[in-house]
Amino acid sequence: MTVVDKNIPWLASYRRNPAAKLRLFCFPYAGGAALIYSNWFKSLPPQVEVCPIQLPGRGSRVLEKLFTRMEPLVEAVARELRPLLDKPFAFFGHSMGAAISFEVARLLRREGAALPVHLFVSGRSAPQLHKPQRHAYKLPEAELIEELRRLKGTPAEVLEHPELMQVVLPLVRADFEVIQTYTAAAEPPLDIPLTAFGGLMDDDVSREDLEAWRAQTTRAFSLRMLPGDHFYLTTNQQLLLPLLSQELYRHRHVS
């Protein structure tokens, strides 16, 4: 059995679970870090090993070069994850993380590699909708800060701290550029179950936007809407994680 290195740069807040039968790789939203998934292991089935993805530019990787385009980012993620795909695995991604996880799954398929047993996408419109993107990454600093305030994903104490914002803004710009210049290529739907999650009060991603993910799978599809806005997954983990556990229990690896 492969022993996962706890210090692998692309995994953070990772707790090795030798008894696990399935790995759940969790991808962060734009500007987010692996830390948002650090406590999920406490609420998910014991057979699941939670693997929070740490992208460059955050945490211990703060000095690493930031990605600004989806394709090279996806290729780098897939390359780093390949040694960890020696047991069944699933993907969960929120917002930008949903697009990354979806594209990593498609890249693995093109390579003839093992695919996730389940794809969980959250807070992100289906890729085929090609919704117009506001290029917020080009905004002047003051306007970009106001955009972050509108999105409600950055704590007020960070927004009001000039020194912290000088660290946060380059990361946010790069992540926004990744997702706001991304266009999904036309490919056949994935042959894996897909679950979409969303916030009932999300002003940017509607139920219809999430329902459209149904077209990206030939297998079972489900949609779960939860109270909260775009960042419902931080304010309503107590509702999200039992639903995620319920979906994972459907797989023989976790039963």
Q: Residues 76-118: pLDDT tens digits?
A: 999 999 999 999 999 999 999 999 999 999 999 999 999 999 9
The reply to whether 95 belongs to the active site is yes
Q: Which residue has the higher pLDDT, 183 or 156?
A: 183
pLDDT of residue 103: 98
Q: What is the mean pLDDT of the chain?
A: 91
pLDDT for residue 166 is more than 50? yes
Percentage of the chain modeled with pLDDT above 90: 73
pLDDT of residue 179: 95
pLDDT for residue 187 is more than 90? yes
Domains and CATH numbers, the chain: 22-127+186-248 (3.40.50.1820)
pLDDT of residue 155: 80
pLDDT for residue 124 is more than 60? yes
Percentage of the chain modeled with pLDDT above 70: 97
Q: Which residue has the higher pLDDT, 76 or 150?
A: 76
pLDDT of residue 7: 63
| Phi (first) and psi of residue 234, to 5 degrees | -95, -30
194-207 per-position pLDDT tens digit: 999 999 999 999 99
pLDDT for residue 1 is more than 80? no
pLDDT of residue 47: 93
CA distance 15 to 213: 31
pLDDT for residue 189 is more than 70? yes
Q: Which residue has the higher pLDDT, 253 or 85?
A: 85
pLDDT for residue 37 is more than 70? yes
pLDDT for residue 3 is more than 60? no
Catalytic residue selected from 13, 60, 95, 245: 95
63-77 per-position pLDDT tens digit: 899 999 999 999 999
4-34 per-position pLDDT tens digit: 445 678 998 778 888 899 999 999 999 999 9
pLDDT of residue 157: 80
Q: Which residue has the higher pLDDT, 225 or 15?
A: 225
* pLDDT band with cut points at 50, 70 and 90 for residue 150: confident
pLDDT of residue 202: 95
